Structure 1
């Protein structure tokens, strides 16, 4: 039975570490065995670790995990925590007697959301990364204000962590996970409608569809007031067998899902980054046709994941925190 989550892909586990007092967290996606991976960076202010390894002209083909975290560049310590957990488990490529696990990472900026960031000499993100890796499991995982989405915000409502999945016409499963901290807005106008509404499955993010008609004010830009407090980061995974170059193409097409769910996306102060990974459980008979379909579906599941992350988010527990979609438009709330 489909969970409509990243864990619909066999061979991976997802774990969160959430610190509500800090107003931040980390999410680890741990693969049971190394997977082919690539990345596409489209934002103007990215923060990443080991993404150069994923370029198609680089030697490394496979990774053990992908890490998503808050904390801006302080949050890049989270990958070290995930790497430590993987090494304890005996994971990694052997260089002589030393195993080196690979866990590329992207971060988002959530340092000005009101949480207690006075952590002393060393940031807490290495510990958060380790805890996220140790919490990683199969099956259902939480969405909204958890893990890397804990402190996320958008221009209009609280951001969060979302996930969605689908199956292509060729039978390949494609799934996405994303932490939505955009400089722009996931909502049409001031809401309640989501830009991702055309791709919604059932009522996974409210079932409200689009407004009866589009007005000029719906298309005006809605931006965060604080420059640099943005970035949407995510991962799309498929069970298809892909080369590194094919995975890179999948990441590029999945990144289009951000642009279909957030307006504007890929702004100068966004660090939008999308990873792609392939577990290679199912071969492709017609690579061009099947990769095109994989990308088509990846665009949609990424857009849906964005909306689900916002839909499930909750306001952080202090006065003045950004309101959530649910508190503004959920049951018994006005919708106009």
Structure 2
């Protein structure tokens, strides 16, 4: 396996990604879409997900294809980013047609970034406009780090962000991942220099420091994030069981069924577990969408499906580390960036 030319999920031909963010708000939205409807499914392993229309993606549900996927900040408010994408799709005549009605299908998921130091005193929910702007910005190239849905993301110890990575398999199949990394857990080992995902790094894509050489790691659960969020809560009770989540999309050009997409999404969760400690906690809404363009037929579906799931997990681990590595400092930040920690 080797990374694709961009080392982004858009190395999977046919898919586009757009970002929109408000730096004062310290939040934003990211849209994953294509020029035509595509097959997708989802698997949730976190205990506190925030989602829209994910039930449609179960293999036994009647919807065969969707028009876009949305990752957004803003907690429950951020689900309205999907509405902005629906508006934009309808405006160009895209969606499921039922007689004269056009119904764009846009599942989405959110992270909690309401206590990250940004100005949240809005009078009108900003996420509908952010979602539409992200859709209208969609292209093959996009920013990672402090961008889109990752603008206000925080990990346990350092700033989070938006990440992406890709692999081209020996068969020619391409696999990619896109993630908004805002976990309860840490993406770095104690000391904040080495990434848990270091064994999977390719060509120094997140610093090239290699794995932490120490043993006995992973036992402490120190969190600067929770300390700073308690400060933002101004003395009100705040449990460490809320305010987190890693949400991701993995994609491939292999021709998968909806059920096979769900299996890839399930396998890809290993990427979160390998890059974040702890992961899939009761207060995380950890979720992975899996999508396919269907452009490339498989010659040995059973064997290749396993390879695709494995590659998706590796890409997701790398994308999480890249999200943190590429994060940039901004005014009012509560946590340092990896490159300043």
User: Which TM bucket (shorter chain)?
Assistant: over 0.9
Distance (Å, rounded) in 2 between the aligned partners of 1:35 and 1:268: 31
Matches within 5 A, 1:297-312: 297-312=311-326
> What TM-score, normalized by structure 2, do the two folds share?
0.93
Distance (Å, rounded) in 1 between the aligned partners of 2:50 and 2:218: 31
Asked whether 1:237 is paired with 2:251, we answer: yes
Task: Note the C-alpha offset of 1:188.
Answer: 1.4
Aligned-residue Cα RMSD (Å) equals 1.2
Which residue of 278, 289, 300 corresponds with 1:286?
300
Name 1:274's counterpart in structure 2. 288
Distance (Å, rounded) in 2 between the aligned partners of 1:90 and 1:10: 23
Task: Note the C-alpha offset of 1:190.
Answer: 2.4
Distance (Å, rounded) in 2 between the aligned partners of 1:21 and 1:191: 27
Name 1:334's counterpart in structure 2. none
- Residues 315 and 321 of structure 1 are in contact (CA less than 8 Å); yes or no, is this contact kept in structure 2? no
> What TM-score, normalized by structure 1, do the two folds share?
0.94
2:266 aligned counterpart, secondary structure: helix
Name 1:332's counterpart in structure 2. none
Task: Note the C-alpha offset of 1:217.
Answer: 5.2
Task: Note the C-alpha offset of 1:218.
Answer: 5.0
- Residues 152 and 161 of structure 2 are in contact (CA less than 8 Å); yes or no, is this contact kept in structure 1? yes
- Deviations along 1:288-329, whole A, 9 cap, x unmatched? 1000000011110000000000000123311x521000112x
- Residues 316 and 322 of structure 1 are in contact (CA less than 8 Å); yes or no, is this contact kept in structure 2? no
Distance (Å, rounded) in 2 between the aligned partners of 1:229 and 1:324: 19
Distance (Å, rounded) in 2 between the aligned partners of 1:317 and 1:289: 49
Asked whether 1:128 is paired with 2:130, we answer: yes
2:325 aligned counterpart, secondary structure: helix
Asked whether 1:62 is paired with 2:61, we answer: no
Name 1:201's counterpart in structure 2. 202
- Residues 218 and 277 of structure 2 are in contact (CA less than 8 Å); yes or no, is this contact kept in structure 1? no
- Residues 188 and 219 of structure 1 are in contact (CA less than 8 Å); yes or no, is this contact kept in structure 2? no
- Residues 155 and 186 of structure 2 are in contact (CA less than 8 Å); yes or no, is this contact kept in structure 1? yes
Structure 1 gaps of 5+ residues are 329-336
Name 1:333's counterpart in structure 2. none
Matches within 5 A, 1:68-83: 68-83=71-86
- Residues 39 and 275 of structure 1 are in contact (CA less than 8 Å); yes or no, is this contact kept in structure 2? yes
- Deviations along 1:27-46, whole A, 9 cap, x unmatched? 01111111110001110100
Asked whether 1:327 is paired with 2:340, we answer: yes
Distance (Å, rounded) in 1 between the aligned partners of 2:29 and 2:188: 25
1:279 aligned counterpart, secondary structure: strand
Name 1:331's counterpart in structure 2. none
